[in-house]
Structure 1
Amino acid sequence: MFAILISALNTMLGFLLRRVVFKFVLFGALFVLCTAIPPLITSHLPDVGSLYKLLNSVPDGVWYFLGVFEFPRGLSVVIPAYFVRFFIRRIPFFG
């Protein structure tokens, strides 16, 4: 009787250690990478002064169409999506 219970407990514990804990560690590492890497990248970007000069040289017609097409919102969604896709493709099990 106790052998059956111990066997069932051993099977459940083996499942937890092999599947759940491994996935928790893997996705925890992915979360840390996706939250830690973008601030590191932005710290290496050039200062705002050169970007300000570049954006001042864009004509008004271009600004109008960028506003119509919601370019700032789209850019803020697409760039992190590309970073996440890049990191997920580097994982041997998923990529």
Structure 2
Amino acid sequence: MACNTPENDVPSPQEETNMNETMTTDQDSITREEAMALARQWASQVYHDLTPYEIETTLKDGNWHVDYELKDPGMVGGGPHFVISASTGELISSRFEQ
């Protein structure tokens, strides 16, 4: 049985490689630094002064988890916590401790 698809509709090996590179890049389009910048922007709207906090950023299950923890263990309270989509930069969840 002959295939009705013209040969020029089949991607060349180079085109397939380029498509795969694009797909890989799109999966993690938000870098760690970008996630931290987004979190800093959101956190500063509520906390204003972020100097008492250490920032811990981890990539887990396709999302950036950005957590602000108090540097001084003797201080009472806590900081903001964000989950940000690594593919879109969308805020998935936030939690504010005070």
Q: Compare the two structures and name the one with the higher helix fraction.
A: 1
Q: TM-score range by the shorter chain?
A: 0.3 to 0.5
Greater Cα radius of gyration, structure 1 or 2: 1
Q: TM-score, normalised by structure 2?
A: 0.33
Q: Compare the two structures and name the one with the higher strand fraction.
A: 2
Q: TM-score, normalised by structure 1?
A: 0.34
